[in-house]
Amino acid sequence: MNQTLAWILFNVFVAAMLVLDLGVIHRRAKTPSLRHSLAWTGIWIALAAAFAAILYGVQGRTSALEFSTGYVIELSLSADNLFIFLLVFRYFRLPEPEQYRVLFWGIIGAIIMRAVFIFAGVGLIRRFHWIIYGFGLLLVYSGIRLLFQRGGEVHPEKNPLLRLVRKFMPVTTDYVGSKFFVRGEQLCATPLLLVLIVIETTDVIFAVDSIPAVLAITLNTFIVYTSNIFAILGLRSLFFALSSLMDIFEYLHYGISCVLLFVGVKMLLSHYYPVRTDISLGIIGGILLVTIVASAVHRGAPRKV
């Protein structure tokens, strides 16, 4: 298939799914049920699997494996990032019916930012190959930091963009439905806009880890982009599914830290000891499976009184 046509078709698919999501399925603001969220999470995973199958048929086994590995990395890192989103929503006391809408517009911004980051990252590595070692060290540092991280907290009041908005624009005390702005005597922002700004800037920080992790698997821009976008599109349903089951995955952040460490080391050794993509996928999947099973076993173990 022509590469340009592949890009056009994929982005048309993304636009159609976003319109279907906000304009039809979630036209009214309400909190999705656990059953509904799990169903849509399954649908997005099935769509990603179908896309991998299409890649296998069109571009071969290597492209399908690279996409699958990148998707698993992005999805696992997204699961950890969703905990930060939950803390942000609690900090701003965001009503549950509005959380889905904020995540929707946050994802629109994330898609645009990821495209910029991906093209810049691939371009830099191809022009200055030594940058890959910098990305590797960054991932190793992030993995070690996450490994010893205890709990989580957010400090939106320190966000420079948020402080800039508050300095130049008045903000209403209360939420005004799904509106980001209201006009009275003057144009005012609502707290919903502040939440969106924090979510977007959090995603930028998250992309600093996630995109280099996928670049360790492949420098094929189309594969990196599509694996990122599929993970992002399923983020909202995954958020509402995991927010109800957060306690079950208490060891997941250890698994994610190990994934970051593995990918970082893989980048650092890429010139001397390249690891095949299918082996990388098996190792990453195995790490995540072990931590999820360990969490479930620990939760199901009897407590000492």
Per-residue pLDDT of the chain (305 residues), as tens digits, is 677 888 999 999 988 888 776 655 555 556 667 787 788 888 889 999 999 999 999 988 999 999 999 999 888 887 767 777 877 888 888 887 788 778 878 888 888 888 888 888 888 888 887 888 888 888 888 888 877 765 556 667 777 888 888 888 888 888 888 888 888 778 888 889 888 888 888 888 777 777 888 888 888 999 999 998 998 888 877 777 776 666 566 777 788 888 888 888 988 888 788 888 888 888 888 888 888 888 778 765 555 54
Sorted by sequence, the CB contacts under 8 Å of residue 68 that are 6+ apart come out as: 52, 281
Residue 207 lies in a domain: yes
Residue 186 lies in a domain: no
Residue 247 lies in a domain: yes
Residue 183, φ and ψ in degrees, nearest 5: -120, 120
Q: Contact at 8 Å (CB) between 197 and 158?
A: no
Q: What is the pLDDT of residues 16-43, one digit of tens each?
A: 888 776 655 555 556 667 787 788 888 8
What pLDDT is recorded for position 54? 93
Q: Where are the alpha helices (DSSP H) in the chain?
A: 3-20, 34-58, 61-91, 96-127, 131-147, 160-168, 191-215, 221-233, 235-245, 252-268, 277-300
Q: Contact at 8 Å (CB) between 259 and 69?
A: no
Domains in the chain, number: 1
Q: Contact at 8 Å (CB) between 225 and 115?
A: yes
Place of tokens 């969703």: 82
Residue 189 lies in a domain: no
Domain extent, residue 276, equals 3-152+200-300
What pLDDT is recorded for position 64? 93
Q: What is the DSSP letter of 184?
A: S
Residue 190 lies in a domain: no
* Nearest residue to 226 (alpha-carbon basis) of 32, 58, 102: 58
Residue 31 lies in a domain: yes
Residue 108 lies in a domain: yes
Residue 193 lies in a domain: no
